[in-house]
Amino acid sequence: MIFNSLTFIVFFAIVLAVWQLRLPWTGRKLFLLVASYIFYAAWNPPFVLLLWASTVVDWWAAQTMIRSEKKSVRRFWLIASLVVNLGMLAFFKYGQFLLDNFVALAASIGIEYVPAKYNIVLPVGISFYTFATLSYTLDVYLKRAKPAEHFLDYALFVTFFPHLVAGPIMRPTELVPQFAEAKRATRTMLLFGLFLMTVGLFQKVVLADGFLAPVVEAVYDPRGPMAPLPLDAWVATLAFAGQIFCDFAGYSTTAIGVALTLGFAMPDNFRFPYAAAGFSDFWRRWHITLSAWLRDYLYIPLGGNRHGPARTYMALMGTMLLGGLWHGANWTFVAWGGLHGLYLSVERWLKGRFGGFKPSGASLIAVMLLTFLLIDVTWVFFRADSFKEAWTILGAMAGHAPGGKPLVAMVPMICALLVVAGIVGTHWAMRSTTIEAVVERTPAWALTTAWAAMLFAVIIEQGQGNAFIYFAF
C-alpha cells in the first residue's frame, strides 16, 4: 500500500474516522497497531513475521539489559539484537550482492562456480525499521535511554505505519513517549497535516512522476543502446536530482502529515537541501534522520573528530561508504557514498586552511551552485545501474559523446528544466526558514488557492501509482 494510491486513501479515511471515536486509549493504540500491520501486509503478508521477530527480540533484549548489571549478559543480548536485525538485513538485502561478488572473485582466480538462483524478495522498508530498532537496543545498552515500559508502545513504535517503510528514521525516545497519553489532533493539526499530505503527494505524483521521471528514464533506461548527447545527459541528471528530492521528500512530508492528523509529531527529514552551502550543510538538510543516525552510531564510534585529522578523515569516509551501501546492494551506491565522503573530507581540510571564510552575497550563491553541481555528479552513480552506464553518462556530461543521439524530446526537456529551476529557486529562497513559518504568514486566501491548485493537479495527474524510490532501499 503506497500513499499515492486510492487504496491508501480509503485506508487512511477509515483509520482517521475510527481514531476520532471516543474509545479507551489502549484500545485506540491496539487499533493503530493492527492498522499498521495491515498497511505493511498489503505488500507481502509473510514479511510481517520479520517485524514480529525484530520487535520481540529487541523488546526482550532491552528488558534484560536494563535489569542486569553483568556486562557479559548485557553484551550477549546486544549481540543477539545485532545478529537478528543485521542478519535479516544481510540475508534479504545483500545475499545476492555477496553471492555475485563471490562468484566474480572465484572466476578471477580461475574457479568456475555456478550457484543456485537466489530468488529472495526484498522486504519493503527493511533498511528503515532495522535502523530504528537497532537505535533502541544500542541506546539501552549504552544507558543513553530507558526501555519502553509497555510492550504495546514499543510494538507500535516499530510498526507505526506513516514512518514504517521509508522513514523518517525515528528513535524510540522521539515516539514512544507520545504513546503515554491519549492523542487526538486539534483542528489546526488536522488541517496542517492534510495540507502537508497534499504537498507531499504533489511533489511525488505531479513533479517527480509527471514531469521528471520520463526525462530521467529516457536517458538512464533507454530502450536501445545508450548514447546520449551532452545536453540530454545533463538534463536527465538534473531531472533526477529533482526527482529523487521530490520523491523522497514527498514521502517524508506525506508521512509527517499523516502522523499529524492522528495527533503525533515526527521530525523534519528535509530542509531545502539544494540550498546547501557545502557538503556538511547538505547532510544537515538532506535525509536528516539518516544523517543523525550515521553520525551517532557510526561516525562517532569510529572516532569522529576526537583523535586527530587522519582518524577523522577515515571516520568520514567509512561512514559515507557504509551509508552508500545501506542505500543499495550495488557498488555504484558505494561509489556514491565514497564521493560524498571525499567531498566532506576535502571540505573539512579547506575549512582548516581557510576557516575564516564565510560566504555571503554573490560568493554564497557561487558556493551553493558549486555544491549543487557536484552533488549532481554523485547522483549519476546513485541512478545508474552499473559503472559502465555511469561512465557513459559522465562522459557525455563532460562533452565526450561519440555516436550520441538525442534521447529527450524538446518539450519534456524544457518542462523538466523549469521544474528543477523552480525547485532549486524555492530552496534558495527558503533556506533560512520553514514551511510552517511560510504558512503562518501567508494570507488565508493565497494559502487556500495554492492548496486547491496542488490538490487539483494531483487529482488530474493521477499517475500510475508508482512506488516511492526509497522503497527499494
The catalytic residue positions are 327
- Strand locations in 319-397 (E): none
Report the distance separating Cα 35 and Cα 27, nearest Å.
12
Q: Are 156 and 36 in contact (CB under 8 A)?
A: yes
Q: Are 381 and 394 in contact (CB under 8 A)?
A: no
Q: Are 162 and 171 in contact (CB under 8 A)?
A: no
Between the alpha carbon of residue 11 and those of residues 93, 97, 258, the distances in Å are 29, 36, 12
Handedness of CA 394, 397, 402, 408 (dihedral sign): positive
Between the alpha carbon of residue 18 and those of residues 3, 12, 184, 260, 394, the distances in Å are 19, 10, 11, 15, 52
Report the distance separating Cα 24 and Cα 74, nearest Å.
36
Phi-psi region at 272: left, alpha or beta (left = phi > 0; alpha = psi -120 to 50): left
Report the distance separating Cα 366 and Cα 276, nearest Å.
11
All 3 cell numbers of residue 82?
Answer: 545485532
Q: Are 214 and 408 in contact (CB under 8 A)?
A: no
Residue 11's CB: how many other CB atoms inside 10 A? 17
Please give the angle made by the CA atoms of 185, 252 and 84, to the nearest 5 degrees: 100
Between the alpha carbon of residue 176 and those of residues 139, 155, 379, 399, the distances in Å are 14, 9, 35, 53
| 66 Cβ neighbours under 8 A, 6+ residues apart | 140, 146, 147
Report the distance separating Cα 218 and Cα 230, nearest Å.
14
| Crossing angle of helices 387-397 and 230-261, rounded to 10° | 120
Report the distance separating Cα 156 and Cα 164, nearest Å.
10
